[in-house]
Structure 1
Amino acid sequence: MTTTGLRPLGTVLAQPEPGLTADDFLLRARALRDHLRAEQEATERRTFYSQETHDLLRRNGFYRMLQPRTFGGYELRVSEFYQVVVEIARGCPSTGWCLALGSGHVLPFASLFGPDVQTGAMGADGHFIAPHRMVPSVRAVPHADGWELTGTWSYNSGAPYSTHALGTVALPPGEEGAPRFGIAVVPRSGYAVLDDWGDILGLRGTGSPSLRMENAVVPYGNVREVDGQDPLWAEPVGAALHGNPMYGGRFGGFFFGETLAVAAGIGHAMLDEYRSALLEKAPMWNPHGVRADDAQYQEWYGEACSLLDAAEAVLWRMGELYHAFCEREARGEGRFGPVDDLRLTSLGAQGDRYVTEAMDLLVRTGGSSALRQGARTERYWRDFSAYRTHPATMARPLTARRFAAADLASGRPEAPRGAAPDEARAHHP
């Protein structure tokens, strides 16, 4: 599938609330914080957020943040989307993760699939939630009506309220038995949501169960063959369909940014609790006064703040570079290639390092009572520990080397610098 002959779709659906901006979403996310914190324990026990929370997120437009305006979405910039995810995760890490990975995958969907497939998925009411699984544990074979899918995708964050599922499928082998893979989009009627999530250390409420397909048939256009060297990439068509270069990129770095945004939100949530303790508790070595007046605690607090600010600066830079790469390609000045995607993942790894240092500092200096069972800080530490087991964070030591090797071998000129952060919007009160 190529962009040749494709025309912009125009407006299929109007926005439910015309003109919502990133600032509106940030304000709404902060307004939900008390509700999300009150729901944390129940969300963890249920293994996904409540119907009430889902209704609040849907009514306030959060599922449409990255969705094309064509289908009633708001087309926030990726950097803005990351900021909103930080704020939601600051209220509840599990909810932030589930929202990010459920709503964010409209970006690759709207980029990779043809107009008929997109209209079929989003054209009725614009509501679209889809987890995305990279492991090709589902087999796709030709069928008279398209493709027949059989297998199970595990770790599908966002599945409980999903309308569709995205994932990598194994296609019939090519010449000389060469493996072939594709990305499939499957409607909710084509898979069963299994009850197999929630027995891990943290992030238990992320709604990440397995999805099972038994001879599910989807139309031919619902599967796109991917580049054998990049299982996340096929020639994008979304920039031409939606008139926006952001629907023409690669997605490894974008996915890394989604999880990093949740990690930054966990860091801010832990810092909120740490700050409250500083204003209420006496120093361990001095029974008089409060920790907020003690120089040592001031130093620790200030360092943690700076580390989290650095992580958010990385997130903003990742998002803006994504757009710079997309826009460069739209101008015909160079492809958004694998080296660019590796640059984003390598940058994200540095943001992960900042958040990890901040969390370690806050836990080490917060006192053992901060990890008492049932305390919010204990849940945040468990959630962050679970985040640290994600494949994206485990690959951190490799990302800089892989980017450097690819970049130096390419002989290309320096990549674009992108836009500078908007300090007012980046601020988190």
Structure 2
Amino acid sequence: MTVVTRVADRAPASPPEPGLTPEDVVARAEAIASALVARQAETEERTYYAEDTHRRFAEAGFYRLLVPRRYGGYEFGVDTFMRVSTALARGCPSTGWMYLFGAAHALAVATLFPEPAQAELFAGGDFICPATVAPAGKAERTEGGWVLDGVWNYCSGAPYATHFLGHTLVPAREGEPPAPMLFVVSRDQWRRLDDWGQQLGLRGSGSHSISIENAFVPDHLTLGAHLSQVTVTGGTPGLALHANPQYGGGPLSFMLLELGALAVGMAQGALDAYEDLMRSRTTTFFPIVSRTEDPDYQFRYGEASAMIATAEAAMTDAVRQWRETCERGPSAFTRERELRLATISREVVRLCWRAVEGHLFPTAGSSSVRQGERIERVWRDMSTLHSHAGLAVFLSSLANRELARARFGVG
């Protein structure tokens, strides 16, 4: 006789280190990040971070930070996740980018999907799930689900991924345009294309394309919505299941705050490199003294340092606001609230970019901005960050107009 155990009856799993604390994982990230600095060139050449780095991340618990505890995760707050991501980006922007966009979507899955889907998706404990927002491919309806075919570009985190979260368009009611559908597929249903590494920056971010051919996706692993348009004000499956307010928060604002966390880490890395130059180089013009003694270099360092510190403070407070909005309940996460939080991230990126592009890069010296130098790499990586659709398209223009419409009740 076969005994069937219902998912709801299963005992909650335990994470590998039940006593692990947020402070522990942040300290681990900072320690690992220091070793990433010297490996940036090889990461770019490979187009993703190394296998041994991946193992260290897994052993450190990084791929379980946002996974619910009932599935063997640590269920730490988004503030811990952002601090880990910032620390890694400080050591290597590509590595921080690849890690964040692979691990972040545990939050969306734990928030939006019902319990049977979550039990299936989180069964492996570690959860690495790149996502794209641009609908692609095609989906054909079949019994119990959909058959997917197509190619999805810019899937940061693909090399070590356990899953992929994407969007496609499906037929709507007669006379209406196609509607977006969100779906999640496991690693055995897609292949990674070798098409990353020739971009200006973030060459080691593992942002390869993913190809899906004739893959069946059951209905319980799909949602009839676009991730950026999901409304949580009526409650979420994750909040009801886990009784943790962070699984009732707004997906859009969380996704866009990620860009701010990465920008802060990148800019901090550039400031680290500039400080090394201050200590090791002299001025070009007379009087020839250590840069640390020169008033102009002192000014530039202080100006950039203040900008980056302000950006970090704004990022920290935005995450605090996000968490406190969660604690007030789903009804507090209005579209206006989401957009206000998201636009803070935009200003964080702008401050970091002004510090790097306006003060650190142009005064570091020509020999310090040759290809492969740390400040040159940060400049390239932050330039490429500006091509991300969330920043270049949504936050730069659409968010402003939508925020105003939400505030004034204009349809």
Give TM-score scaled by structure 2 length. Answer: 0.92
Which AA in structure 2 matches 1:408? Answer: F
In the alignment, is the contact (CA less than 8 A) between 1:157 and 1:209 conserved in 2? yes
What do residues 316-374 of structure 1 show as CA deviations (whole Å, max 9, x unaligned)? 122122222222225xxx34121111112211111111111111211122122221122
Q: Does 1:351 align with 2:348?
A: yes
Stretches of 4+ aligned residues off by more than 6 angstroms: 7-10
CA distance in 1, matches of 2:230, 2:136: 15
2:390 alignment counterpart: 392
* 1:306 Cα deviation after fit: 1.1
Matched, 1:342 2:339: yes
Q: How does 1:247-266 map to 2 (within 5 A)?
A: 247-266=247-266
Match in the other structure for 2:223:
224
Instruction: Give the match for residue 176 of structure 1.
Output: 175
Q: How has the CA–CA distance of structure 1 residues 42 and 230 changed in structure 2, closer, same or farther, with 3 Å as cutoff?
A: closer
SS at match of 1:71: coil
The question of whether the paired residues in 2 share the 8 Å contact of 1:260 and 1:348 is answered with yes
Q: Which whole-Å CA distance do the structure 1 matches of 2:210 and 2:172 have between them?
A: 24
The residue number in structure 1 matching 2:3 is none
TM-score normalized by the length of structure 1:
0.88
User: Offset at 1:138?
Assistant: 2.7
Verify: 1:327 aligned to 2:315, yes or no: no
* In 2: Cα distance, 1:242 partner to 1:209 partner: 33
1:223 corresponds to which letter in structure 2?
T
CA 1:364–1:9: 2 relative to 1, 3 Å = farther
1:282 matched to 2:282? The reply is: yes
Unaligned runs of 5+ in 1: 1-6, 411-429
Give the counterpart of 2:363 among 362, 365, 368: 365
Three-state SS of the structure 2 residue aligned to 1:209 is: strand
- How far residue 271 of structure 1 moved from its aligned partner, in angstroms, is 0.5
Q: Offset at 1:178?
A: 3.4
Q: 2:376 aligned to 365, 370, 378, which one?
A: 378
SS at match of 1:201: coil
Instruction: Give the letter for the 2:340 counterpart.
Output: R
Is 1:79–1:315's contact at 8 Å kept on the other side of the alignment? Answer: no
Q: Which residue is equivalent to 1:200?
A: 199
Does the alignment pair 1:241 with 2:241? Answer: yes
CA distance in 2, matches of 1:314, 1:29: 21
Cα separation, partners in 2 of 1:188 and 1:397, compared to 1, 3 Å: closer
Alignment-mate amino acid for residue 150 of structure 2: G
**Residue 270 of structure 2 corresponds to residue 270 of structure 1:** yes
Identity of aligned residues (%): 38
CA distance in 2, matches of 1:308, 1:9: 49
Whole-angstrom distance in 1 between the partners of 2:222 and 2:231: 12
| Separation of aligned partners in 1, 2:230 and 2:104 | 14
Aligned CA distance change for structure 1 residues 167 and 28 (closer, same or farther; 3 Å): same
Deviation readout 1:202-234 (Å, 9 max, x if unpaired): 10010011111112002110101116x954557
SS of residue matched to 1:89: helix
SS of residue matched to 1:133 = coil
Mapped to 1, the partners of 2:17 and 2:287 lie a distance apart of 54
CA 1:147/1:312 → structure 2, altered by over 3 Å: closer, same or farther? same
Equivalent residue, structure 1, for 2:4: none
Distance 2:8 2:319 in 1: 24
- Aligned twin of 2:214: 215
Aligned residue for 1:214, secondary structure, equals strand
Please, which moves more after superposition, 111-120 or 394-403?
Answer: 394-403
Tell me by how many angstroms 1:58 deviates.
0.4
Tell me the amino acid that sits aligned with residue 130 of structure 1: C
> Are 1:307 and 1:354, in contact at CA under 8 Å, matched by a contact in 2?
yes
Give SS of 2:328's match: helix
Contact 1:90/1:266 (CA < 8 Å) preserved in 2?
yes
Aligned 8 A contact 2:101 2:130 in 1: yes
The residue aligned with 1:425 is none
Conservation of the 8 A alpha-carbon contact between 1:182 and 1:231 = no
Matched residue, 2:56: 56
Higher alpha-carbon deviation: 107-116 or 310-319:
310-319
For the Cα contact (< 8 Å) 2:171–2:177, is it kept in 1? no
CA change 1:11–1:19 in 2 (3 A) is farther
Unaligned runs of 5+ in 2: 1-6
Do the aligned residues in 2 keep the contact of 1:77 with 1:319 (CA within 8 Å)? no
Cα distance in 1 for partners of 2:9, 2:344 equals 34
CA distance in 2: counterparts of 1:10 and 1:325, whole angstroms: 31
Is residue 2:146 matched to residue 1:147?
A: yes
What is the distance in 2 between the residues matched to 1:13 and 1:286?
A: 66
Q: Which moved more, 1:356-365 or 1:314-323?
A: 314-323
Q: Report Cα offsets for 1:63-99 as digits up to 9, x if no partner.
A: 1111111112222222222121111011111010000
SS in 1 for 2:223: strand
CA distance in 2, matches of 1:143, 1:184: 15
RMSD (Å), alpha carbons:
2.0
3-state secondary structure, aligned to 1:167:
strand
Match of 1:96 in 2: 96
Cα 1:384–1:139 change in 2 (3 A) is same
